[in-house]
Structure 1
Amino acid sequence: MAMRPEWLDDGAVILRGHATAHAARMIAEIRRIACLAPFRRMTTPGGGVMSVAMTCCGARGWCSDARGYRYVAVDPRTGQPWPAMPETWRGLAITAARAAGYDGFEPDSCLINGYRPGARMGLHQDRDERSDAPVVSVSFGLPAIFQWGGVRRTDPLRRIPLLHGDVVIWGGASRYVFHGIAPLRAGAHAVTGSCRYNLTFRRTL
C-alpha cells in the first residue's frame, strides 16, 4: 500500500511503495515485452552509446540515433509496432497521477529502462513529447539515486533515494525540471537480481 505522498517540488510527488504489490506481475510483463521488442542501448545524436538499455510499449516508442530524439510507431529494430501497453500498467499510471493531483492523465507510451551496475541517466529534460501531461515513473529492483534539479541545467541538484516500488510523478511547474539517475551501485535484489527497471508513462500526443 502506498504511503502518504511525499512532495518533491511544486507539481512533483513521490508515492513510496505505491507499485510494490504489482512488482512480480509487472516484471514478468517486462520480460514478455522484451521478447517482442528486445532491450537495446541506443546511440545518441552525438555518436555516444547510452549505458542504459531500453525498450518501449504502447502506441509509440522513444528512439535515439544520429537523426535525433523522437517517438515512432514502429520499433526500428524489429520493423513491427511496439507491443501493446498492458491495461493494468495503464491503470496504475492513471491512479498514481490522480493521487498526485493530475486527473485525466491518459498515457499512450511507456519507456522501459534496464539499468545494470554502473549505468546512469544524464541530466535531461523530457521535451520530446508533444503533450505537457505529467510523467509517471515507476522503479523496481536495485535502489537508485534520483537527481532532481531545476529548470536550468546549472540549478542545484538534490539526491533522492528511490527504492523498489516507488513512483514519482512530475508535471505542471516541474514538468521540465532537469533530472537524471546517478551511476547504479552493484547489488542483488530479491526480485530483479543485479538490475533496476524503470518504467516511465507518458502522453506523447
Structure 2
Amino acid sequence: MKSLVIVVAYLAISAVQSAPDDPAESKGNTYSVTVNDGGTEREETIIIDEEKNVEIFKSVNSDDADIVEDFNTGLEAFIPTHGDSCYVKPMISEENTSPADLKADIESGDSKSTNPVDDEKDEYYTLAGNPIIKRSVVGETISEKCEGRNIYWLTALSHGDQDRHKRACTYLRYCRIVILRSGNLVKICRIIIRCN
C-alpha cells in the first residue's frame, strides 16, 4: 500500500473525484489531485479501475504520458501523448499500491503529509528488441491504450547511458513520486533511450 499513495500523501493539496471526460476512456474512478512538485502546482489525474485491477496516471514533471499499472499482468506501461510507440516493463512490487488501497487512501483524505522527498533516482532503459507481436501478453488495458502503436519491451541498462553518447539517441523521461515500503519518499524517473 505504498507506491502511488505518495502522489496523494506528499503532494496532495486536494482531491476531487469526477467522471472521466471520455466515458470510453475508463469505467473506473477518476480523481483530480492538486500537486506541488518542485514548487510548481498543477492538477494531476489518477484513474483507478478496481474491476480491471488497473491504475492510470500522468507522469510528473517530465515528458507527457499516461503510465498504466496493470496488476493482473504485473506490467507497467508508458504511453506517450504523442508518438507511434508504447513501452512496457515489469512492475516493481515495492513501488506499487493496489487499486483498492490507493482508492481508499485518496477517498479517506487522511494522507496529507508534506514530508520532503528523501532521494531522486534515475533508471535507464532501452528497447529489448523488435515490437511485440502477440499483443495479448500485455493485457487488455495496455493493448487498448496502445492501439495503432508498436509496443516494445524495455530492458534495464545497468550503467545508464554512458555507452550510448556516440550514437543518435532519443531520450524519453517519465517521472513519478513514490513512497517505498521503507517509508522513504523518492522521485523516480524512468529514462527510455531509443538509438538509431
TM above 0.5, one fold?
no
Higher Rg: 2
Q: What is the TM-score normalised by the length of structure 2? A: 0.30
Q: Which has the higher strand share?
A: 2
Q: What is the TM-score normalised by the length of structure 1? A: 0.29
